[in-house]
Amino acid sequence: MSITNEQFTKALNQLHCRSNFNINNVREYMLPELKEPIYLHNETKAPLLIIRPAFEVFSSELATINGVHAKYDYHHNAQMTRFPKRQYKGLSESHYGLAFSFDDEQAVALFVQRLVEIVKG
């Protein structure tokens, strides 16, 4: 079973992640007390949390958190404007990142806490 969009939003708000904007099905957040963007993408099946591709070296570690599931292909979306671009489908480059799905709010909390620790070094 996966988390709903409402549960995901509630968990991020409780963690003090700041929401910057919401365009179509993508919402940008900043990690608590940091200027590190993450994106919540509302999929029809389950919401995905997208992080910067620079964190790929930590992807397998983050995926070992109970209730966290890594998507092993890059996730592309034009609204993820703070992320780098690369050629994907089509003629123009698109912003991309690493996607994760979650089983529950506790998995989101553990993931965000670990990501904050990684960013802070």
User: How far is Cα 91 from Cα 43, in angstroms, rounded to an integer?
Assistant: 24
- Domain CATH code at residue 13: 3.90.1150.40
- Give the model confidence (pLDDT) of 66-101 as tens digits: 999 999 889 999 999 999 999 888 788 999 999 999
Which secondary structure element, helix H or strand E, spans residue 106, and what is its range? helix 105-120
> Domain range holding 81?
5-120
User: How far is Cα 8 from Cα 49, in angstroms, rounded to an integer?
Assistant: 9
pLDDT of 43 > 80? The answer is no
Give percent above pLDDT 70 in the chain.
98
- Whole-number pLDDT of residue 111: 97
- Whole-number pLDDT of residue 13: 94
Q: With bands split at pLDDT 50, 70 and 90, how would you rate the model's confidence at 1? A: low
SS3 34: coil
Q: How many domains does the chain have?
A: 1
